[in-house]
Structure 1
Amino acid sequence: MSEIKCKVASITPLTDVVYKIELTPPAPVTFQAGQYALIDMGEKDKRPFSIANAAFDSSRIELHIGAEPGNTFAGEVLSRMKEEGEISLSVNNGQAFLQSNGLPMVLIAGGTGFSYTYSILQQHLHSGDKTPITLYWGGRHAGDLYLSEALNALAAKHDNFTFVPVVEFAEDDWKGRTGWVHHAVLADHTDFEHMQVYVAGRFEMAKTVREDFTVRGLKVENLFGDAFAFI
C-alpha cells in the first residue's frame, strides 16, 4: 500500500482524552467508508486508526484519537503530529467497509470505535439509499459520546436513521439507555437473520457480539468489523 504525506491541519479536543485530527493530503484520496489509515511510525511500525470522514469527502482525512494517560500507542502518534505538523500514512486498508445490499444496518460502537461507524453512517446517508440504519454508541459516561448532538440532528433530518446512545455509568440526569452497548442492541432485536451488523470497539465486545448475535440468526457474512481479522 503506497503512502502519502499529509499536513496536520488541526488537532481539536473532543473530550479530555479524545482528539479530532484533520489531515490534508496532497491530492484527494480513495478509500471506502469503514476503512482505516495506517500511520507510519517506523519501518515496521504501522499503527491503525479508523477514518472518520465518509469516502465522498475525499479531500481530507479525519481521525478520532483517544490518547488517555498510559496509552503510548496513540499518544506517540499524537505527539509526532503536534511536533512535526505532518505525518505519513496509507489509506484504503481493511475489509470491513460499507456493503450496500439492501439489508437494514445496525452499527455498534464502543468509545472511539465510533469513528469507524461514523464514516459508514455519513456515506450511507449521503448516498440517498433509504435502507434503515441504526447507530448504537456506548461510552462509560455521557460526555464520552462527544458527537451526540450532531447525531441527534442527523436523526431528526433522516427518517431512516436512528441514534441510540448508551451510557455505562449514568449520572442522575441521564434519560437514555444504560449498561453495555451490545446489550441494548440485544434488548431491541430478537432476530438478526435479515440484518447487517458493523461493530467497532474492544476485541472482547466484538467477540461477544459475534457469539450472541449469530445465535439469534445473524449470518457471519453479514457481520463486519476489523477485529474479526484477529479473533
Structure 2
Amino acid sequence: MSEFECKIAQMEALTPYVWRILLEPQVPVAFKAGQYIRVVMGETDKRPFSIANGAQNNGLIELHIGASEHNPWAMQVIDRLKQGDNICLDGPHGKAFLRSEQPKPTILMAGGTGFSYTWSILQTLLTSPLKEPVFLYWGTKTREDMYALEQLQVLATQHAKLSFIPVLEMPDKDWPGRSGLVHQAILDDFISLEPYQVYVAGRFEMAGVARDAFHQQGLLLSNLFGDAFEFI
C-alpha cells in the first residue's frame, strides 16, 4: 500500500448528485475486486471510496462519488478534482474483496453509491462464465438515483446465471419493480441464506441491520463481506 499519482481522465455527472470519475495511474495498480482507495486531501486527511472497475482493468481507477451540499465531506473531494489535472491516491485497501477460490452462490447487495463496490465484483466475476448463480440487489431512493439500471437489465439478459433486482424506497407510480428496503427484499426471496456468500455496501446502519437479519436467516458470518463490518 502506497501513495501514487493519477491523471484525472474524466469526470461526468451520472445523476444530479453522483459523479463518475476516471483516474489514470502512471503505472497499473494491482487491486482485488471489492477493495477501495483513499483520495489524499492532506497529510492526515485521506478519504476512502470503493474502486468501481473490475480488477482486470487495473490501468484505470473508477470512482462513483455521491456528493451534494448536504454531504460536504464528498463535495470537497469533487471540488478538489475539478481544480487540477492530477490527484494523489493511497491504496489499495480493504479486506472485503471477492473470494473466488471456491465459487459459491453469491448475493451482492448495494445501497446508493455502494453500488460501485458490487459493480467491481460483478465485472470481475463476468470475465469468465458464471459457475454459480449471482444475485445483485441494488437499493436507491428513486429511479433517477439508479444510474446503471438499463445497463444491468441488459447484462441480466446476457448471463443466464445473473439476476438483477432493483429496489426503490420511493417508487413512482409507473415503477414496475420492487419497493421498500433492499435488505428486506433479500429476506423475502430466500428461505435460507446458509449456502450463500454475501457482499454488502452502503450506509453503516443498513449494513448492521442486514448483518443481524441475514445471520438469523442462516447466513454464516464467515461468508459475509463488507468494509462496514470492520467498524460496526
Same fold (TM over 0.5): yes
**Displacement, 1:70?**
2.4
Partner of 2:177: 176
1:16 aligns with 2:16: yes
- Length, aligned pairs only: 231
Task: Give the distance between the partners of 2:136 and 2:16, measured in 1 at CA.
Answer: 23
Partner of 2:60: 60
Letter in 1 for 2:54: A
Cα deviation digits, residues 135-185 of structure 1 (max 9, x gap): 000000011110011101111111111100000111111000000100101
**Displacement, 1:129?**
3.5
Return the TM-score normalized by structure 2.
0.98
Identical positions, percent: 52
Task: Give the distance between the partners of 2:121 and 2:112, measured in 1 at CA.
Answer: 16
Task: Give the distance between the partners of 1:199 and 1:183, measured in 2 at CA.
Answer: 13
Kindly indicate whether the alpha-carbon contact (under 8 Å) linking 2:187 and 2:217 is maintained by their aligned counterparts in 1: no
1:105 aligns with 2:106: yes
Partner of 1:154: 155
Task: Give the distance between the partners of 1:139 and 1:129, measured in 2 at CA.
Answer: 26
Task: Give the distance between the partners of 2:191 and 2:90, measured in 1 at CA.
Answer: 39
1:142 aligns with 2:143: yes
**Displacement, 1:73?**
1.1
Pairing 1:1-231 to 2, within 5 Å after superposition: 1-100=1-100, 101-231=102-232
Letter in 1 for 2:63: L
In the alignment, structure 1 segments of 5+ residues that lack a partner are: none
- Aligned residue for 2:15, secondary structure, equals coil
Letter in 2 for 1:128: P
Kindly indicate whether the alpha-carbon contact (under 8 Å) linking 1:30 and 1:58 is maintained by their aligned counterparts in 2: yes
Letter in 2 for 1:191: S
Letter in 1 for 2:24: T
- Aligned residue for 2:144, secondary structure, equals helix
**Displacement, 1:80?**
0.8
Task: Give the distance between the partners of 1:147 and 1:137, measured in 2 at CA.
Answer: 10
Task: Give the distance between the partners of 1:27 and 1:102, measured in 2 at CA.
Answer: 31
Kindly indicate whether the alpha-carbon contact (under 8 Å) linking 1:30 and 1:91 is maintained by their aligned counterparts in 2: no
In the alignment, structure 2 segments of 5+ residues that lack a partner are: none
Kindly indicate whether the alpha-carbon contact (under 8 Å) linking 2:13 and 2:19 is maintained by their aligned counterparts in 1: yes
Letter in 2 for 1:42: G
- Aligned residue for 1:55, secondary structure, equals coil
**Displacement, 1:90?**
2.0
Task: Give the distance between the partners of 2:40 and 2:20, measured in 1 at CA.
Answer: 18
Task: Give the distance between the partners of 2:123 and 2:18, measured in 1 at CA.
Answer: 20
